Amino acid sequence: MQTAIMRMPVPILWLVPVLVCAFMWGIRAFERLNLYAPDQELGGTPDEHGLDGEEVLFTAEDGTSLHGCLVRAKGRAGQPGGRVRGQASVILYFHGNAGNLTGRFARAAALASGGFDLFLFDYRGYGKSRGRPSEKGLYQDGRAAARWLIARGVPPERTAYYGESLGCAVALQTALELPPGALVLDSGFTSVKDMARVCFPRIPLHLFVTERYDNIAKVAGLRSPLLIVHSAQDELIPISMAERMFAAAPEPKRFLRALGEHNDPFLSARVRGVCAFLHEHLRAH
C-alpha cells in the first residue's frame, strides 16, 4: 500500500521543505526582532550631557569596528582610572537591547557622581559600531571592550562590569573569560528560552530559540564578587529570574531589591547601593 506522502504530486513534495525553511526563517527573524532593537542615531555627545568624556574607537577580534565613550568621574580630570594609585576605578557598562550608549548618559552621570570612571560602548549594529548583532558577536564585543581597558593600563581588579538587561548576559560571559574586580547584573534574565516562555506562554517559541544567552547555566562558574539588582515592579523580567540567578551564584554575592519598572531612570537608593558595593570590592592595589 502506498503511503500518503508517496501519492503526493512531485510539486507538493518540493513545497514541503520550502515551507519549513520559510517557517524557520520567520521564527529567526521574529527572535532577532525581539532580542535586538539598535538605534544608529546618537543622542548627543558627553559634553552636551554635562559629562567629562571622550569618544573611543576600538576593534573586535573579528575585525568589527566598535564605538565607545569614556566618562570620567565627576570632578576628576585626566586619564582613566588604574594608572596612578588612588585614581578612580572604572565601570565597564554593558547596555541593554535597545537604543545605543547615548541613552545611558543619565545613568553614567549618576555612577560617575559616585567616584567612578565609566567606559560605555555600543555592540555591533548599535550607534556608530559596525556589523550586525548576534550572541556570538556581542560576546566578542564585550571581550574587546574589556581588553581595551586592560591595554590602557586599567587592571582588572580595579574594573567592574555593569550589565543592564540583555547586557547582563554579555557582562557575565565577559566576566567568566576576563574576571573583573566586581560584577553587577541589573534587571537580568535567566535565559532566552525562559523569557520566551514568559512572553509567549501559549506558543512554544522556546523550542526554536537559537540565541540562548543561557545565564543560569553559567553563573555558577563566576569568580568575581556579584551584585544582583532587580525590582519586583519589573514588568518585563520577573524578579523570580534574578532570585534563581542569585541562588545559583557562588559567594561573595549580594542582592539589591530596587524600585521601579524595567526602563525607569535610576533612583538614588539604587545608585547608593551599587556604589557602596563597588567601593567595597574595588580597592586600590
DSSP secondary structure of 226-284: EEEEEETT-SSS-HHHHHHHHHHSPSSEEEEEE-S-TTPPPPHHHHHHHHHHHHHH---
Q: Using omega within 30 degrees of 0 as the cis cutoff, is the peptide bond preceding 252 cis?
A: yes
Q: What is the per-residue pLDDT for 268?
A: 82
- CB 224: neighbour CB atoms within 10 A? 22
Here the cell at position 278 is 563597588
Nearest to 255 by CA among 219, 284, 285: 219
Using alpha carbons only, how large is the chain's radius of gyration in Å?
21
Give the separation between CA 240 and CA 35, rounded to whole angstroms.
Answer: 20
The residues assigned a catalytic role are 165, 234, 262
Successive 10-residue mean pLDDT values, the chain, 285 residues: 52 61 55 84 89 95 98 65 54 97 94 95 98 97 97 94 98 98 97 88 67 95 98 95 98 95 83 95 66
Q: What is the per-residue pLDDT for 263?
A: 83
Specify the 3-state DSSP secondary structure of 46: coil
Q: Which domains does the chain have, with CATH numbers?
A: 8-281 (3.40.50.1820)
Q: pTM for the full model?
A: 0.86
Q: What is the per-residue pLDDT for 11?
A: 64
pLDDT digits (tens, 9 = 90+) for 110-163: 999 999 999 999 999 999 999 999 999 999 999 999 999 999 999 999 999 999
8 A C-beta contact, residue 37 and residue 98 = yes
Instruction: Kindly provide the b/e burial profile for residues 49-80, where b requires at least 16 CB atoms within 10 angstroms of the residue's own CB.
Output: eebbbeebebebeeebebbbbbbbbbeeeeeb
Handedness of CA 153, 156, 159, 164 (dihedral sign): positive
Q: How many residues can be counted in the chain?
A: 285
Counting beta carbons within 10 angstroms of the beta carbon of residue 258, is it exposed (0 to 12), middle (13 to 18) or buried (19 or more)?
buried
The one-character DSSP state at 9 is -
Specify the 3-state DSSP secondary structure of 8: coil
Q: What is the per-residue pLDDT for 283?
A: 66
